[in-house]
């Protein structure tokens, strides 16, 4: 059987190009791996094998990943040939009449898409445990732990070697949280670097963006280059790249000023093993010649958290009410957190949404000012190792407690959403590991528009401390 943990997507595409292996053989291997490990993970859904085989028969585009198996997140990335549950019983088996721009750009790389991966309802959790899939998605490093969210299925399938990389999206850490939880590389580009249309004008007031879960930095760089740029009619776009992500990782970045934070950004202590992994990365960066010093961003994080929470509640309510089409907000159609978010959103003043958007933009300016003192902000991705399955289940209707309560998502993930709000590029790099073998992600963020410098630094870290040989417990 072909081992998708032995080679990244770039290497597999080279094997296809040389004639050593065929796209059909790679697809067969991926489907065999689904049959072997997905019952334990519950991460692959809505398999469309016929669509994949039709694509191969029709001659795949000669892109950088021609013939490599691929999976889409079951939230967004609308595609005619790939129905979606969107993580919810309310939207189960949704069929699309057109493709999204991001899907068309992904397909132009030559990948062989054959299904979707699980996502929590409304995409608002740090775990993937949606009722529409009949149970939680599990982490191949430890089946009692979550693979993260909202791209939890994508993280699980790449870590388990079902596919070498997969599509995800990130509105509050939804690529970086699964990357940290599953020992993968996850990169959130600058706001609007990737297209949103035509099904959405913007995601969550511009805070949400697509992305990818990969095992190598070069796979992410190549896919970002293939997909970057606004779609037709986009309301705004990211600053242009100097050259490309792929060019950026071809050489080390300049020596950078790195601010290191081994607490939360408000100074709250985090798990000691996670904090030590942050400090170890700081020492690694110093050994590479970068200047590392302690730092906390001077920005109103509590304001940002509340504004993020209100914006996402309104977005959830808009989606849920549209899907209900006048039906009652019942627990057989909508899970607890989404019902709570919808009910909470409807208590807000009609003025609150624009006020919250204004607060998010003010926060972005605060973060931009903070980065005048350094080039990179180094922290953990999560405040602790991957949570146990069930801890962030969607059965509660107390949306505010779920998101910003003392045991909520922001306490567990206090770093990621900061950069969705500010629009800055950020990445989770799989450099740490707990004493019981769980992955610990290290978070790096750069100024707005500096995607190339950030991904170059990630590539330098990958070269200095390679992670590709690590294998999760399920497939070790």
Q: Looking at the annotation, which residues are catalytic?
A: 73, 150, 174
Backbone CA torsion sign across 38, 44, 45, 50: negative
Joined together, the tokens standing for residue 169 give 């999206």
What CA–CA distances, in Å, run from 211 to 71, 160, 165, 304, 424?
A: 12, 19, 11, 22, 14
Q: Cα–Cα distance between 1 and 33 in angstroms, integer?
A: 9
Asked if 466 contacts 447 with a C-beta cutoff of 8 angstroms, the reply is: no
Query: SS3 for the chain, per residue?
Result: CCCCCCCCHHHHHHHHHHCCCCHHHHHHHHHHHHHHHHHHHCCEECCCHHHHHHHHHCCCCCCCCCCCEEEEECCCCCECCECECCCCHHHCCECCCCCCHHHHHHHCCCCEEEEEECCCHHHCCCCCCCHHHCCCCEECCEEEEECCCCCHHHHHHHHCCCCCEEEEEECCCCCHHHHHHHCCEEEECCCCCCCCCCCCCCECCCCEEEEEEECCHHHHHHHHHHHCCCCCCCCCCCCCCCCCHHHHCCCCCCCCEEEECCCCCCCCCCCHHHHHHHHHHHHHHHHCCCEEEECCCCCCHHHHHHHHHHHHHHHHHHHHHHHHCCCCCCCCCCCHHHHHHHHHHCCCCCCHHHHHHHHHHHHHHHHHHHCCCCCEEEEECCCCCCCECCCCCCCCCCHHHHHHCCCCHHHHCCCHHHHHHHCCCEEEEEEEECCCCCEEEEEEECCCCCHHHHHHHHHHHHHHCCCCCCCCCCCC
Residues 6 or more apart whose CB falls under 8 angstroms from that of 90 comprise 121, 320, 323, 324, 333, 334
The rounded distance, in Å, linking the Cα atoms of 176 and 171 is 10
Distance, CA of 414 to CA of 402 (rounded, Å): 13
Rounded to whole angstroms, the Cα distance separating 355 from 79 reads: 34
How far apart (Å, rounded) are the C-alpha atoms in residues 355 and 311?
10
């Amino acid at each position: 059987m072909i081992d998708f943990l032995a080679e990244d997507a770039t290497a597999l595409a080279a094997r296809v190009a040389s004639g050593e292996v065929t796209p059909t053989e790679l697809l067969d291997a991926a489907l065999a791996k689904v049959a072997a490990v997905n019952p334990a993970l519950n991460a692959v859904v809505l398999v469309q094998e016929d669509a994949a085989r039709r694509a191969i028969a029709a001659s795949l585009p000669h892109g950088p990943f021609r013939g490599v198996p691929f999976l889409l997140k079951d939230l967004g990335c609308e595609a005619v040939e790939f129905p979606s549950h969107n993580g919810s019983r309310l939207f189960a088996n949704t069929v699309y009449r057109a493709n999204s721009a991001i899907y068309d750009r992904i397909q132009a790389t030559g990948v062989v898409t054959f299904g979707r991966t699980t996502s929590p309802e409304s995409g608002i959790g740090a775990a993937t445990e949606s009722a529409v899939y009949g149970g939680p998605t599990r982490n191949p490093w430890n089946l009692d732990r979550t693979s993260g969210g909202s791209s939890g299925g994508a993280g699980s399938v790449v870590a388990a070697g079902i596919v070498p990389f997969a599509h995800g999206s990130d509105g509050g850490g939804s690529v970086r949280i699964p990357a940290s939880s599953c020992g993968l590389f996850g990169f959130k580009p600058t706001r609007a670097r990737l297209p949103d249309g035509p099904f959405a004008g913007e995601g969550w007031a511009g805070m949400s963006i697509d992305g990818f879960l990969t095992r190598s930095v070069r796979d992410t760089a190549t896919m970002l280059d293939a997909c970057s740029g606004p779609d037709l009619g986009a309301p705004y776009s990211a600053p242009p790249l100097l050259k490309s992500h792929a060019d950026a990782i071809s050489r080390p970045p300049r020596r950078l000023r790195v601010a290191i934070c081994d607490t939360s950004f408000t100074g709250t202590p985090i798990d000691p093993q996670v904090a030590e992994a942050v400090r170890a990365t700081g020492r690694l960066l110093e050994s590479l010649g970068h200047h590392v010093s302690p730092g906390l961003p001077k920005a109103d994080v509590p304001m940002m958290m509340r504004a993020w929470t209100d914006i996402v509640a309104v977005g959830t309510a808009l989606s849920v009410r549209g899907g209900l089409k006048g039906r009652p907000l019942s627990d057989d159609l909508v899970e607890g957190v989404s019902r709570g978010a919808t009910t909470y959103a409807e208590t807000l003043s009609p003025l609150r949404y624009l006020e919250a958007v204004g607060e998010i933009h003010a926060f972005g300016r605060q973060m931009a000012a903070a980065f005048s003192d350094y080039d990179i902000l180094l922290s953990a991705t999560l405040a602790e190792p991957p949570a146990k399955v069930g801890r962030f289940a969607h059965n509660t209707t107390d949306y505010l407690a779920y998101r910003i309560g003392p045991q909520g998502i922001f306490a567990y993930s206090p770093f990621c959403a900061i950069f969705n709000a500010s629009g800055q590029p950020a990445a989770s790099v799989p450099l740490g590991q707990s004493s019981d073998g769980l992955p610990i992600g290290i978070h790096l963020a750069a100024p707005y528009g500096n995607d190339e410098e950030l991904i170059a630094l990630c590539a330098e870290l990958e070269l200095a401390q390679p992670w590709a040989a690590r294998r999760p417990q399920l497939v070790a």
